[in-house]
Amino acid sequence: MTAKLAIAAIQMVSAASVGPNLETARRLVREAAEGGATLVVLPEFFCLLGRKDTDKVDAKEPAGEGPIQQALADIAREAGVWLIGGTVPIASSEPRRIRNACLVLRPDGTTSARYDKVHLFGLKRDGLRFDESATIQPGSTPTVADLAGPDGAPWRVGLSVCYDLRFPEFYRALGTVDLIVVPSAFTYPTGQAHWEVLLRARAIENQCYVLAPAQGGTHENGRRTWGHTMLIDPWGEVLARLPEGEGVVAGTLSAERIAEVRAQLPALAHRTM
């Protein structure tokens, strides 16, 4: 029997204070677990979309401790799932900037891997202005997480966050993976223009599944995010999608499907550089 893994992505419309977001995350992860998911992924900054850019700096935690990280550990343990904590504001070497850290937790609540977002979003278009480098210190290391399904089968997960999606060479640096996760908070106009085509391209190029949990709706701070959390298969087919509002997008990874696509069109084996 081919290995399979039940997974789920959480879409949120995060508020401007941490407490309510943690409760929403707990409720939706529990819903995903009750639906059979072994791996659950939260969106970027699930814990806080503040009223100003510096709010996430004010909410920062030292690595390995703090209420947000403790809540993630508790949620993973209570639900009995592998949990990828979207992103969490972790203290950096600079007091006015944070690391935008994607944390992977085992079902016992311990941390398995951490990836710090490498590419920092900047936009100047139609009155919108974003400069993540003002409050975020970039990471430098592509990171994968290895986990085992209920049957003991191994799965390799490539970690990325939001703006990383625009840099295909970043995903090549991850090596061969079964799943890429892209927790995100895409703006509405950039999401409308580019989100789906970029996600499908990354799935097709890397011949793996892509799971992209998103922020999706109008937030307390007035910002509108694109949403459209989705699961995409190694051929680029969208298997599940949630356009807007909070909820769960679930599906199943199939090792047989990955192998089939790679055998039919062995593009990964044909690379010359």
Residue 110: inside a domain:
yes
How many domains does the chain fold into? 1
Task: Name the catalytic one among 117, 132, 208, 244.
Answer: 117
Cα gap 234→231, rounded to integer Å: 10
Q: Which CATH number belongs to the domain containing residue 252 in this structure?
A: 3.60.110.10
pLDDT value for 90 = 98
Question: Is 117 assigned a catalytic role?
Answer: yes
> What burial class does residue 20 get, using C-beta atoms within 10 Å of its C-beta: 0-12 exposed, 13-18 middle, 19+ buried?
middle
Residue 43: inside a domain:
yes
pLDDT value for 1 = 67
| Nearest in space to 239 (alpha carbons), one of 8, 1, 3 | 8
Helices (H), 35-126: 55-58, 67-79
Domain extent for 68: 4-264
pLDDT value for 88 = 98
Segment 21-79, tens digit of pLDDT: 999 999 999 999 999 999 999 999 999 999 999 999 999 999 999 999 999 999 999 99
Cα gap 246→148, rounded to integer Å: 28
Task: Name the catalytic one among 44, 132, 244, 246.
Answer: 44
**pTM of structure:** 0.97
Residue 159: inside a domain:
yes
**Token pair of 13 as six digits:** 């419309």
pLDDT value for 128 = 81
pLDDT value for 54 = 96
Task: Name the catalytic one among 132, 162, 208, 246.
Answer: 162
Residue 272: inside a domain:
no
pLDDT value for 187 = 96
Q: Average pLDDT for consecutive 10-residue bins of the chain (273 residues)?
A: 94 98 98 98 98 96 98 98 98 97 98 98 87 97 97 98 98 98 97 98 98 98 96 98 98 98 97 89
Question: Is 162 assigned a catalytic role?
Answer: yes
Residue 16: inside a domain:
yes
Residue 269: inside a domain:
no
C-beta of residue 182 within 8 angstroms of C-beta of residue 162: yes
Residue 271: inside a domain:
no
